[in-house]
Amino acid sequence: MFQCKYCKKPSAIKRGVKKNKSGWIPRFSCTKCGRWFVNRKGLENYRHNAEVITVALDLRAKGLSLSDVVDHLDQHHRIKVTRKTILDWQKKFGKKLK
């Protein structure tokens, strides 16, 4: 049994899977409170996976401009992001990388 993220009791059981952009993730239901949930850890709420975010931040740390990073992600990873998105990632995760 797993711990329910709502009632905090160890009464949740696995009930299938849910598909999102990063793949298939397990779904759980709580036998006590009856709520359904998925365990989200880290970057699951982001549209792009952790690898893409890491590549973008690494390129920024190496001194590439925002436009160069956008071009790199488009050409090598076929992912369209804006300069604003990369800047937001840099503001959010830049401090954690140092």
pLDDT per residue over 10-62, tens digit each? 989 999 998 876 678 899 999 999 999 888 767 767 788 888 999 999 999 99
> pLDDT tens, 37-48?
888 767 767 788
pLDDT band at 94 (very low <50, low <70, confident <90, very high): confident
3-state DSSP percent of the chain in helix, strand and coil, to 5: 40, 20, 40
On whether the CB atoms of residues 12 and 29 are closer than 8 A, the answer is yes
Give the DSSP H or E segment for 25.
Answer: strand 23-30
Which residue from 97, 96, 54, 93 is spatially nearest to 77, judged by alpha carbons?
A: 54
Other CB atoms within 10 Å distance of the CB of residue 53:
20
Residue 16: per-residue pLDDT: 93
The number of beta carbons lying within 10 Å of the beta carbon of residue 94 is: 13
pTM of the model: 0.60
**pLDDT tens column, 63-75:** 999 999 999 999 9
